[in-house]
Structures are given as C-alpha cells and as structure tokens.
C-alpha cells in the first residue's frame, strides 16, 4: 500500500529532488514545457503519461544525460545539479535504471552489482557486502554466479534495480522497470519497490505503463501529456481525473 503521502506537507527542498520549470525542445518540437517535479525521500512518485509525453526526456535531464536547454534547472537537496555528469550525480546520491538494461552481459550478477558500488568509490570489501545484501533483498541469490546475459527477464529487471541501489542513492529513478514482466511477476516487483522506499529510505521516481503497479505502490502520481503536467495527486485522485482518463488511461479510467 502507498504509505508516505501524509508526510508530504512536512518535507521541503532539503529532502527533495526537484525539477523546476524545465523546458526542452528538439528541432523546434517542444518535448517539455515548464515542468516542475518534486520527489521526496521515503516516497514513491509515479510519473505517467502516453508515449511521447516527455517522461524519459525529463528523467534524462534529471540524471545528466540531457540538459534543460530552453529553460529550468534541477536541484537535489537544495544544490543546483543542472548539467552535472552522470558519474558525479551517482557519487552525490542519484541513481537510475534504464529501459534497455545496461548490465555487463559477460559479468555475473554479483560482479555487476559490485562494479556499480565500486564506481561510486566503495572499497572491494564494501562492494561485496552491498552485493550480498542486494542479492538477498531482490531474491537474486540463486542467480549470483550466473552471467547477466542468461538471466530470465524478471531477474534482469531486478538486477537493474540492484545495480542502482549498490550506489547507496538517496533518490533513484526507475524508467520502465516492469517492462516485459508478466502479471504474475508484478506483485513481487511491487514489493521490491516498496522495500526500496521503506527499508532504504530512498525517494523513488517510478515511470511505468503498468497501471496496476503504479496504482498499488505510488504515494503520489504526476501525469504528463504533450510535455506538460496535466494532473497531480494520490492514486485515487488520478483514477478519478477526467483529463487523465482522456489522455492516458482511456475513457473508462482505472
């Protein structure tokens, strides 16, 4: 169950990853227009919208893979991080996953997790400790010595989360983490996301097209359409919003 939305009013910029007035165009086509986003520690914020709404563009800007070339900036705990390179953001406590994976296929699952920890400055012994914890947390222990290239799809998605958590982030952005999972795998994956929020006290931005996952784990949901925010609220409020039903969820809603 969503569990921390009631904390929203007591938290401010010092606890947040924020996008402020972000505008981005490509060849004259507006992908984002003056978008604000405020992600708190210890919550799951869903970011949804139809294809082309600007979700991945916003994540790329927030994680240093793009810049808000036409306006706006990104702050993390009141520090302006606009334009920082991804490796610097990783050391500062911001991590992400990717739609297409990005694991090292020839390395084992354990080695992939350890490499992520080493990449943000962990010593080898600490990297091994983090791998042990995350293999257990994400139910990947049985695959620890398997090459990433041969993982079942569900385990591959969990490895992406494990690699992000190995950096010990304060905020993590999950871009389509449930893509390709079958519906029987979604409840277990929802438990993983709740654990990231509750046990690691991480702020989670969740982008996914799986409506049942979004509605079951998110404390708040922000909806983009054509590069603009059209709604923000609890899962229940979003499910009842007619603009959301029209733009994203279909005329019958959730």
Output the CA torsion sign for 154, 92, 22, 230: positive
Cα–Cα distance measured from residue 237 to residue 220, given in angstroms and rounded to the nearest whole number? 9
Is residue 150's pLDDT more than 60? yes
Percent of the chain with pLDDT over 90: 71
What is the model's pLDDT at position 253? 41
Indicate the pLDDT class of residue 6, thresholds 50, 70 and 90.
very low
Tens digits of residue pLDDT in 87-127? 999 999 999 998 776 799 999 999 999 999 999 999 999 99
- Region 139-159: mean pLDDT is 92
pLDDT at 248: 58
Alpha-helical segments (H) within 63-144 = 86-92, 109-119, 124-137
The pLDDT of residue 163 is 94
Q: Which of 55-59, 221-225, 250-254 is the least confident region?
A: 250-254
What three-state secondary structure class fits 72? coil
- In this prediction, residue 45 has a pLDDT band, given cuts at 50, 70 and 90, of very high
For residue 159, which of 177, 176, 173 has the smallest C-alpha distance? Answer: 177
CA–CA separation, 36 vs 13, rounded Å? 13
Q: Which residues of 31-51 are buried (b: 16+ CB within 10 A; e: fewer)?
A: bbbebebbbbbbbbbbbbbee
Q: What single-letter DSSP state applies at residue 189?
A: H
Sign of CA dihedral 191, 6, 50, 66: negative
Give residue 123's pLDDT: 97
Mean pLDDT of 175-200: 88
Question: Does the structure show a pLDDT above 60 at 7?
Answer: no
Mean pLDDT of 25-32: 94
Average pLDDT, integer, range 122-133: 97
pLDDT for res 11: 62
């Amino acid at each position: 169950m969503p569990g921390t939305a009631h904390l929203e009013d007591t938290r401010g910029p010092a606890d947040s990853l924020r996008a402020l007035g972000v505008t981005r165009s490509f060849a004259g086509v507006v992908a984002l227009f003056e978008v604000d986003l405020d992600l708190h520690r210890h919550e799951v914020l869903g970011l949804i919208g139809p294809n082309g709404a600007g979700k991945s563009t916003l994540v790329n800007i927030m994680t240093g893979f793009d810049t808000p070339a036409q306006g706006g900036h990104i702050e993390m705990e009141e520090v302006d991080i606009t334009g920082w390179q991804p490796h610097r953001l990783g050391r500062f406590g911001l991590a992400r996953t990717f739609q297409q994976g990005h694991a090292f296929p020839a390395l084992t699952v354990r080695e992939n997790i350890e490499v992520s920890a080493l990449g943000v400055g962990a010593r080898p012994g600490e990297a091994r400790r983090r791998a042990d914890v995350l293999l257990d947390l994400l139910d990947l222990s049985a695959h620890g010595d398997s090459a990433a290239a041969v993982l079942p799809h569900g385990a591959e998605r969990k490895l992406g989360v494990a690699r992000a958590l190995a950096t010990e982030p304060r905020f993590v952005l999950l871009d389509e983490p449930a893509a390709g999972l079958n519906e029987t795998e979604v409840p277990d994956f929802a438990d993983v996301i709740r654990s990231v929020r509750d046990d690691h006290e991480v702020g989670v931005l969740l982008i996914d097209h799986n409506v049942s996952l979004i509605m079951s784990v998110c404390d708040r949901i922000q909806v983009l359409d054509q590069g603009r925010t059209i709604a923000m609220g609890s899962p229940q409020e979003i499910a009842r919003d007619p603009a959301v039903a029209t733009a994203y969820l279909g005329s019958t809603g959730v």
